[in-house]
Amino acid sequence: MKILFDLLPVILFFVAYKIAGGNQAFAHELASRWLGEGIAVTQAPILLATAVAILATVAQIAWVWMRHRKVDTMLWISLGIIVVFGGATLFFHNPTFIKWKPTALYWLFGATLTVSAVIFRRNLIRKMLEAQVRLPDPIWGRLNFAWAGFFILMGFLNLYVAYNFSEETWVNFKLFGGMGLMLLFVLGQGFYLSRHMQEETT
């Protein structure tokens, strides 16, 4: 359930894009009314979807704050990035900015994991998971850098899809491709770690 809540802005972005794409005349009228004149009909779906994603992220944080009086750092980071890149997309009527948003987020996560480990000697993956999993120290290091590498590669992959395929393909990849690859990576990590957890307990 939590993963669906975390993915809510991405899911609503996808849904809004598909609905607007299927009703382009209405979407264009709505985008022109709320986002300014000079918007091409083909631009309206991505602009409206971006506005929905920004509002959904704000609502997500407001809900978390009302429920727990505390908001995870990752949610604040997501809000900052969607406001900057999404806001630039809406202001300039240019979808290039929102297409860079996932890459910025992936690269920020990858850089944070790498810098924390190399410079500050802090393994953030271990800090998040060591209460549930016991592993040898070298494995924690490999796990941390595996996640950092995964995020960096995902950032490049997002740009490859954004610049080499249609906008609709990129929107589909943003939800299904990103989620699918993340799931495969987590499953692969699970199989790898299970061997080392067994070795440690023998």
- State which residues form the domain around 55: 1-76
Stretch 28-53: mean pLDDT, rounded? 95
Do 57 and 142 belong together in one domain? Answer: no
Instruction: Return d(Cα 137, Cα 61) in angstroms, integer.
Output: 35
pLDDT at 135: 87
pLDDT reported for residue 25: 94
Q: Are residues 112 and 59 in the same domain?
A: no
Considering the chain, what percentage of its residues have pLDDT values greater than 70?
A: 96
Nearest to 18 by CA among 191, 171, 188, 139: 171
pLDDT at 74: 87
Q: Which residues contact 5 (CB under 8 A, 6 or more apart)?
A: 60
Shared-domain flag, residues 120 and 199: yes
Q: Does residue 99 share a domain with residue 72?
A: no
pLDDT at residue 1 is higher than 90: no
Nearest alpha-carbon partner for 47 in 165, 167, 135: 167
pLDDT given for residue 202 in this prediction:
41
Would residue 155 count as lying in a domain?
Answer: yes
Which pLDDT value is given to residue 133?
83
Structure confidence at residue 200 (pLDDT):
44
Helix (H, G, I), strand (E, B) or coil at 37: coil
What the block records as the tokens of 112 is: 């944070």
Q: Is the pLDDT of residue 196 over 80?
A: no
Mean pLDDT of 111-130: 94
Mean pLDDT score of the chain? 92
62 and 103 fall within a common domain: no
- Report whether pLDDT(169) > 90: yes
pLDDT band (50, 70, 90) for residue 2:
low
Instruction: Kindly write down the DSSP assignment for every residue of 50-99, as one continuous string.
Output: HHHHHHHHHHHHHHHHHHHS---HHHHHHHHHIIIIIHHHHHHT-THHHH
- The count of residues in the chain is 202
Determine which of 42-51, 92-101, 188-197 has the lowest per-residue pLDDT on average.
Answer: 188-197
Write down the pLDDT at residue 201. Answer: 43
In a domain, 88, yes or no: no
Q: Hey, what's the torsion of the CAs at 68, 69, 74, 76, to 10 degrees? A: 140
Structure tokens at 79: 């809000």
Report angle CA 38, 41, 47 to the nearest 5 degrees: 75
Q: How far apart are CA 46 and CA 90, in angstroms?
A: 9
